[in-house]
Amino acid sequence: MKKKKLAIIILLTILIGILVFAYFFFLRQNPVNLIRSINPLQYSKPPGFLYAINSEPDHPLDSPMAVYVFNNKIFVSDTGVGKVLAYDYNGKFQQYLQPGQGSFRAPYGMADDGTNLYVADISLGKIFVFNSGGTYKKQFSVKGAQLGGPGGLYFKGGKLYVSDLQKQMVFAFDLDGNLLKAYGREGHGSGELSFPNGITVDDQGTVYTADSGNNRIAVFNADGSSVERGIGAGDPGNSNMLTPRGLQRDSNGNLWMAMGLANQIQVLAPDGRKLLEFGHDGKNYGDIALPNGVFIDKNNRVYVTEVGNSRVSVFGY
Amino acid sequence: MKNKGLTNRFRREFCKMKKIGIIASLSLILMLIMTATALASATSGPHGSFTTNTNGCAACHKTHTAQGKWLISSMAAGSQNDVYRVCMYCHQAGVGSHYDEANGQIMDSTTTNSTTSPSAKWATSAGGFNYMPGIEGAAALTTTSTVTSNHSVANSNGTTQVVPGGYASGGIELRCDSCHDPHGSTNDRLLVPSVKILSTTGQTISVNTVSSGRIGIAVANALTNETVIYQDDNMSSFCGACHTDFFNTSALSGENTSGSYTTGLYRHRVNMSWNSWTGSTPNSSSFMVLPLGAGNGGTDVTCITCHFAHGTSVSVTNYTSATAGVRPATLLRMDERGVCQNCHLKQTGAAPTITAAPSTYQVDKTHLVVTFSGYLDPATATNTANYSITTLGAPSAATLQPTAKVGKQVLLTIGSTSVTSYTLTVTGVKDLNGTTITTGNTFTWTGQ
């Protein structure tokens, strides 16, 4: 009787062990990272360098501008080679994204609506839609507007937000491509933009965009009105904001920015307080040279594209 | 639950890098904090805005820990040209500037603030470093050509490069700031007043780019379909600061030897009227399309007449020399030796013809790209009356591509097509030799 019970317990334990192993194996996730990610992001110290995705002869990188993690794949858009590269979650190259019959020319911002991946191309003036496996579906056709140079993309609340580098404006479209709202205009004053790059939106519909030419984060309320001076312009203790490009809100609502010409990543609270700042130039692992894109995945890994080193560095806690 | 082992390992790894990097980052932070403390009036960038916001200095310079000469803070030292990467951080793909030098295009600035007007991309006057427009204009219609020859500013990395007409073993560390001053200069292209090169004995010398101290360039229609106005012939002395032996303005330079770096060779003259030589009949001035300097009433040949400054996408394939092999495209403005022909017109050659599909193709329902076998006379090529399409009639517009003056392609705006057969007939269009199209002047295709 006891032997039979023991045998059942052992068999059940083995079965559970196999199931747990299979779960993590087929999802290609490290269970240690999953456990560690339960920790909130820390702002008292910078994340440590984990690994880098380098340029390889068969699939080179030149100017990686944005990085996006979706469906356990890492997507990197490169305006130098004019391609979007897809890697698995460990950084192993899988395929190039193919936008229908043609090619990308200057692919940049990426976003997902839960099902599909959207990729903006600045030079073509178009946004392309792929499924979660990286297969091309269609173009995102806009109505009631014409795109100039779509750069940053962000999806929130059923809307696709687009920062347009040629028009110097931010657009919000519904999923059918109808223009819902336009924010900003070219210039250097309040509510004005100069090369808006990264873009993110909070739960209230407040739009934050990396106003790189004005060295600040421009902020617009959901109704389109602008928040005076944005973040970074004149904030005490934050005078070193310089060409913010990549921008993302983390799970705590704080803003991570890649500041290219300063070779740094900065984290700000929405009220402008600086929480964390790290990085310096160089080509060693852990250095950050001309960062442009920044992305935080659901395991709290921080991805940074380095235009100066033609690579993507991955950091974590 | 934390996994302490892995966390400690990362902490140790990070500590090593922290020691190396702490001094650099502290210097940077300290210097940045000591500079302007308020970004009260935002800057439009480092060029031309130094007086209003000195944070622009920190964009490129480090005071005490610079990795590049002239205190360029630089990054990725040792692997790529640092200045190129910094400049391209803004001047590529329109992310930081309307001038996209990597792709040889200007992102039109006249359609900012409008949700509905279409945006366009125009070819820059200097060509591109990696790519250039094949078709310029509305974004949906533009095509891209690969650059076949450029000034290789991307890979200098502290070493000197050979300068044709200069020091044989390498005359200059070629960078963006070899020719342009990001702090501003007296002309609209930020060209520098002097360059550092190696002398005939291998010493570093500073050479003035113009004796008068100013290169006169003005830009009309800035940041859209620009026109460059050369106000003197000084582009020749600018290029000649490095390409020293090629800068020869003497009469009969083709009959008398000259040169400091390489002696005993004959040179093509510059800074004289393009049709001033004796010996044969030059081309008609109606067909002279290459850019000229302002001297002699705006008729002077300068270096820029035949060459782009940044890069070219022309093809030079038909000439192979026994010693040099296949000759490179050498930043020329026309395929093969088209630049010679535009002035010298040694033969009129065959009449132009339409090049068949896929070079001639329908882009969308209302646009057709027509490629011809030779460079076209802009006046007749852009005359819509010279084109007729069955059932659609004449196009409403015809633009020469890739630029308004030099090109073998015409972009036609036509009536909306349906899926049926159409035939285009071209009459009256001339090439730059002055020969009118006769046979090979039709194109038949099925519409979209």
pTM listed for this prediction: 0.85
Q: Which of B245 and B177 is assigned the larger pLDDT?
A: B245
Confidence of residue B18 (pLDDT cuts 50, 70, 90): low
Mean pLDDT score across all residues of chain A: 91
Which of B115, B124, B157, B224 has the highest number of chain A CBs within 10 A, making it the mutation to test binding with A? B115
Summarised one tens digit per residue, pLDDT across range A175-192 is 999 999 999 999 888 899
Q: What's the pLDDT at B278?
A: 72
**Cβ neighbours of residue A118 under 8 Å, at least 6 residues apart?**
A110, A111, A112, A127, A128, A129, A130, A140, A153, A155, A160
Across A15-29, A194-208, B39-53, B268-282, least confident range: B39-53
pLDDT digits (tens, 9 = 90+) for B25-70: 555 554 444 433 333 222 223 464 443 456 567 667 778 877 666 7
Render B262-296 in DSSP notation, one character per residue: S-SB-----SSBTT--SSS----GGG--S--BSHH
- What was the pLDDT predicted at B50? 42
Q: Minimum mean pLDDT among A233-237, B74-78, B284-288, B300-304: which range?
A: B74-78
Instruction: For residue range B258-282, list pLDDT tens digits in order.
Output: 999 999 999 999 999 998 887 778 8
Does A281 sit within 8 Å of B115, measured CB to CB? no
Task: Please determine, for residue A303, whether its predicted confidence score (pLDDT) is greater than 90.
Answer: yes
In the DSSP assignment, the letter for residue B239 is H
Minimum-distance CB partner of A234 among B38, B74, B121: B38
**Chain B window 427-446: which residues touch A at a Cβ cutoff of 8 Å?**
none
Pairwise pLDDT comparison (B193 vs A85), residue with the higher score: A85
**At A156, is the secondary structure helix, strand, or coil?**
strand
Q: What is the mean pLDDT of residues B3-15?
A: 64
Cα B68 to Cα A226: distance, rounded to the nearest angstrom: 40
Kindly list the residues from chain B whose CB atom is less than 8 angstroms away from the CB atom of residue A242. 32, 55, 58-59
How would residue B202 be classed by pLDDT, with cut points 50, 70 and 90? confident
Give the contacts of A191 (CB within 8 A, at least 6 positions apart). A184, A185, A218, A220, A225, A226
Q: Where are the beta strands (DSSP E) in B141-272?
A: 143-146, 149-150, 194-198, 204-208, 217-220, 227-230
pLDDT value, residue A208? 96
Burial of B299 (0-12, 13-18, 19+ CB in 10 A): middle
Residue A44 has pLDDT above 60, yes or no: yes
Instruction: Give all domains of chain B, ordered by start, each with its CATH number.
Output: 361-446 (2.60.40.1220)
**Band of pLDDT at residue A236, cut at 50, 70 and 90:** very low
Least confident of A57-61, B8-12, B288-292: B8-12
User: How far does the CA of residue B133 sit from the closest CA of chain A (Å)?
Assistant: 11
**CA dihedral sign of residues A167, A170, A175, A180:** negative
A32, A35, A242 member nearest B58 (Cβ): A242
- pLDDT given at position B124: 95
The burial class, CB within 10 Å (0-12 / 13-18 / 19+), for A98 is middle
What pLDDT band is residue A317 in, cutting at 50, 70 and 90? confident
Residue B108 forms contact with A (CB below 8 Å): yes
Q: Is pLDDT at B236 greater than 80 in this prediction?
A: yes
- pLDDT band with cut points at 50, 70 and 90 for residue A241: confident
Q: Which of A49, A233, A261 sits opposite B42 (nearest CB)?
A: A233
Scanning every residue of chain B, which has its alpha carbon at the shortest distance from the alpha carbon of A35? B1
ipTM over 0.90: no
- Could you tell me the strand order of the sheet in which A302-306 lies? A48-53, A311-316, A302-306, A291-296
pLDDT at B269: 95
Instruction: Name every chain B residue with its beta carbon within 8 A of the beta carbon of A226.
Output: none
Per-residue pLDDT at B55: 58
Residue B116 has a pLDDT of 85
A vs B: CB pairs below 8 A: 230
Q: Give the one of A124, A189, A213 whose C-beta lies nearest to B96's C-beta.
A: A213
Q: Check pLDDT > 80 for residue B211.
A: no
**B106-164 residue pLDDT tens:** 999 988 888 888 889 999 999 999 999 999 998 888 999 999 999 988 766 667 788 89
Q: In whole angstroms, give the CA distance from residue B11 to residue B22.
A: 15
Min Cα distance A115 → chain B (Å) is 27
Query: In 10 A of CB B15, how many CB atoms?
Result: 11
Check CB contact under 8 Å for A166 and B89: no
Taking contacts as CB-CB distances below 8 angstroms, the residues of chain B near A317 are: 7
Chain B residues in contact with A286 by the CB 8 A cut-off are 13-14, 17, 21
- In 3D, which of B413, B207, B93, B142 has the Cα closest to residue A149? B93
Mean pLDDT across chain B: 84
